[in-house]
Amino acid sequence: MGLFGDLMSNCIAFCEKEGLNKICLTAASIDLVQFFEKYGFLVDDTPTGRFGMAHGGSIPMSKLL
């Protein structure tokens, strides 16, 4: 349906309006990491992020605004 880009734009605009500077999410599977990276999210460089990548799921990601 191509709605994720609109959802992200609205989410980013809301966060900026509220003075937030970071958006966090959890990729349910490793297959979704590349998808979220297209929108500027990066895998968190933490033990949890590395564990999620090694095991293929529950991967914390964030985007600085």
Query: How far is Cα 17 from Cα 34, in angstroms, rounded to an integer?
Result: 27
pLDDT over 90, % of the chain: 89
Look at residue 6 in the predicted model and tell me its pLDDT: 93
Distances (CA, A) of 20 to 2, 7, 8, 57: 26, 17, 14, 27
**Average pLDDT value for residue range 31-42:** 94
Q: Is the separation of the CB atoms in 41 and 26 below 8 Å?
A: no
Look at residue 5 in the predicted model and tell me its pLDDT: 87
With CA atoms as reference, report the closest residue to 9 among 17, 61, 60, 1: 17
pLDDT digits (tens, 9 = 90+) for 47-57: 999 999 999 99
pLDDT digits (tens, 9 = 90+) for 22-36: 999 999 999 999 999
**Is the confidence at residue 1, as pLDDT, over 90?**
no
